[in-house]
Amino acid sequence: MGELLRRYWYPIAISSELGIKPLRRRLLGEDLVVYRTRSGRVGVMQESCPHRRASMAYGIPEEDGLRCGYHGWVFDPEGTCLEQPAEPASSTFKDRIRATAYPAQELGGMIHVYLGPDPAPLLPRFDLYVWEDVWREIWWADLPFSWMNPMENSVDPHHAEWLHGHYGAFVDELETGVKRDATVYVKPHQKVGFDEFEFGIIKRRMLEGASEEDDDWKIGHPLVFPHMLRRGFAWQHMFQIRVPVDDHTTRHYWYTAYKGPEGFVMPAQDEIPVMEVPWQKPDGDFDVSFVDGQDIMAWATQGAIYDRSLEHLGQSDRGIIMLRRMFERELEKVEQGLDPIGVIRDPAKNEIISLPTEKKKLGGGTKYWKDLIATGTHRYSPFTPKITDLFEQFEEYERRQADAVRDGQ
């Protein structure tokens, strides 16, 4: 699996996290350091210095590289050794030393890295990363299980009505002592569908009372192979990025772009707010009072790497079966020396990659976005009051536009 995963780019840090001090990171089982040179270039290299194995996380940024704090060896972002201060001036020893270093780029307020073989594919310019005139927000959490647990959840639509609907109502009963019927995420699925597209799988659902003309079925939203889910509605667009730190740990990013109605001029955003998601209570138990906390509980209690031979999959699990078959197929392609699905090498196809997503999610409207804020991670974000105000501005703008059209007729 590792050889397949190394064919893709991953976010390894948030740009605003990286100041003058290097960051220690782990990705695909490798211990790495992320740094920014004095000239502004981003580098990602092995954590242990090739000289005496001291940590480069305690290195000193230089104009063109990172200097080890132990003996002063300097490596540039390509891994070339530029200086060995204690060696004779005439020595060519440094020319024979290289550090393991990987291509890194900044896009959309995040630092992305590629750990695979040369030549590196293009960093995909997905819509949320490159849109202008939007607000962005990034949440993150380090989670104690394999990235595959949440990825399989992404093609399991039925969990929403039970985990977030009925179980969510039970959690409310535990907290308040009052038994109430669930009011969100409870409409039963009439049918679900899954279609392959050039970047993964489109997931579709039709709830009770809906039709095939509704966005949830007609458009759906995509699982972007191998490690991302794209979801949202007209004004809020989110990537859920499951970064495989190692076999037992996932760094989960919730990367959101808020985009107004056509013609709406967004206020300027000075910086991207960043928040760690508090998925545990003070006693260490899961916080299941919000949607993402409920997901995390389910993924974690399956097991860090759970034994899938003990499962009993039914017809409702065909999205999971489809995803597993896709992994098997793409593994075979890599073994044959081919690029797996979603790898981009043609710049003409990478100006902006627009991913299909519902605009009227679950019917949309005021109730949807208010439920979203009330039941989700927004409850913990200090940025939420601004988002609530922004959504109200969007609604007022759309009302004025509709009035203008009506009056013009």
Average pLDDT, the chain: 95
- The pTM score is 0.95
Q: Which residues are registered as beta bridge partners of 244?
A: 250
What is the C-alpha separation between 100 and 47, in angstroms, rounded?
9
The model's confidence at residue 409, banded by pLDDT at 50, 70 and 90, is low
What is the C-alpha separation between 51 and 48, in angstroms, rounded?
8
DSSP SS3 for 325: helix
Q: Which residues are registered as beta bridge partners of 229?
A: 223, 240
Residue 277, amino acid: V
Q: Which residues are registered as beta bridge partners of 75?
A: 66, 81
Query: How many other C-beta atoms are found inside a 10 Å radius of the C-beta of residue 375?
Result: 19
Query: How many other C-beta atoms are found inside a 10 Å radius of the C-beta of residue 198?
Result: 11
In contact, 236 and 134? CB cutoff 8 Å: no
Domains of the chain listed by start with CATH number: 2-114 (2.102.10.10), 127-408 (3.90.380)
With CA atoms as reference, report the closest residue to 191 among 355, 325, 315, 368.
315
What is the C-alpha separation between 113 and 48, in angstroms, rounded?
18
157: its two tokens: 């639509």
Placement of tokens 């893709």 in the chain: 8
pLDDT digits (tens, 9 = 90+) for 232-266: 888 999 999 999 999 999 999 999 999 999 999 99
Residue 407 has pLDDT above 60, yes or no: yes
pLDDT digits (tens, 9 = 90+) for 161-218: 999 999 999 999 999 999 988 878 888 999 999 999 999 999 999 999 999 999 999 9
With CA atoms as reference, report the closest residue to 153 among 272, 300, 31.
300
